[in-house]
Amino acid sequence: MVGAVLVAGGEVLAEGWHPRAGAAHAERVALDRWPDPVPAEATLYITLEPCASTGRTPPCTDLILARGVRRVVYAAADEDARHRGRGPRQLREAGVEVVGGVLAGEARDLNLLFHFRAATGRALVAAKWAATLDGRTATRTGASRWITGETAREDVHRWRRYFPAIGAGAGTVMADDPQLTARLPGEPVHCPLRLIFDPSGRLAAHPDRHVFTDSFADRTVLLCREEAADRVLASLPGIRREILPAEGPDRDWLAGVLEAHEAPGLYLEGGARLHSDFLRRGLVDYLFAYRAPLLFLDEEAPGPASGLAPRTPAEGLRLRDVRQAALGEDQLVRGFLAPPPVTP
């Protein structure tokens, strides 16, 4: 998601944005919308450094120079080593004033998946949960609707709309029968790729769940072990399957599955067993933790995940690049997961 604004004398002359992969870049859209000569004092503001390479579109730097733009301000650098710095360097060598890194953190956050994949070469895996102040995600009876309020739940749907794939465990599908779709006011229902983790094939006995019967059933992929595959196929003949490794998912396997389904990001909605497994295996890169002003004060009430057992606070998982938001009476804390330091 890249935007560009052409400004002169404190007035916005034109703006543009990149609508989809392969379409014209934001700079080109903005400059095409200003057919007149670009004023000498004009500045082109861009959320991502301009490209200097030919891909599905021609280099933006060539157009910037051809149109006579004399000053460019960009926010985030391109994390891809093949492109990083080339565009700004070419513009500076041609005499254009270039300022980079303005609101870079905000711009990188706008494109979490793009920047993470460019930097690491793989999809971003995020876990999401909603909990009380004392860290409970449901009552001891399993009731969880609703811990957070409407504003926080709408925010979850916005992230479902952003991530190309959403993940859930068999227990969550059996207990809650979730739709796992993005339902935002004024927008059509959107269904990301739905990855359902069911190692033992328990859901073969529950073919009536939403994810198997709704109009987006072709967006559902069931992940089970080899020994459960035949039973799943017999019960859910129209549902796509992926075979889980016998020893459980690892980073290479998960990256391969997401790559095969052209999904540069996975939004895990739980439940606790799936979160715990992924966290123990080091498969979670990012966390969305919603917190409600609510207390259960019940040791029998479940939490969002378990199994790390640090001996000291320093051995726990800590978030970095943390962002916080107030969502009605609730809060969202999110950020990248930093692994604990290695101890002797």
Nearest to 221 by CA among 229, 211, 234: 211
Query: Is-catalytic flag, 27?
Result: yes
Residue 81 confidence (pLDDT) above 90: no
Supply the pLDDT for residue 303. Answer: 95
Angle 281-285-287 from CA coordinates, rounded to 5°: 105
pLDDT at residue 285 tops 90: yes
Q: Is residue 343 pLDDT above 70, yes or no?
A: no
**Spatial contact of 143 and 170, defined as CB atoms under 8 Å apart:** no
Judged by average pLDDT, the poorest of 25-34, 47-56, 159-168, 265-274 is: 47-56
C-alpha span between 232 and 210 (Å, rounded)? 16
Question: What is the residue whose two structure tokens read 């002169």?
Answer: 8
Per-residue pLDDT of 8-22, as tens digits, reads 999 999 999 999 888
* Separation CA 303–CA 319 (nearest Å): 18
Q: Chain-wide mean pLDDT for the chain?
A: 94
C-alpha–C-alpha distance, residues 286 and 288, integer Å: 7
Q: How confident is the model at residue 217 (pLDDT cuts 50, 70, 90)?
A: very high
* pLDDT for the residue numbered 308: 87
pLDDT digits over 135-154, tens only? 999 999 989 989 999 999 99
Q: What proportion of the chain, given as a percentage, has pLDDT over 90?
A: 88
Across 160-166, average pLDDT: 97
Task: Identify the three-state secondary structure at position 211.
Answer: helix
- Quickly count helices (H) and strands (E) in the chain: 11, 14
Q: Are strands 3-8 and 43-48 parallel, antiparallel or unpaired?
A: antiparallel
Query: Model confidence over 287-317: pLDDT tens digits?
Result: 999 999 999 999 999 999 998 889 999 889 9
Say what the pLDDT of residue 80 is: 79
Question: pLDDT higher for 255 or 344?
Answer: 255
Structural domains present in the chain: 3-110 (3.40.140.10), 123-338 (3.40.430.10)
Read off the pLDDT of each residue in 35-59 and give the average, rounded to a whole number.
93
Give the model's pLDDT for residue 56: 84
Write down the catalytic residue from 27, 97, 106, 262.
Answer: 27
Task: Identify the band that residue 341 occupies on the pLDDT scale cut at 50, 70 and 90.
Answer: low
Q: What mean pLDDT do residues 65-77 have?
A: 97
pLDDT at position 342 over 70: no
pLDDT for res 53: 85
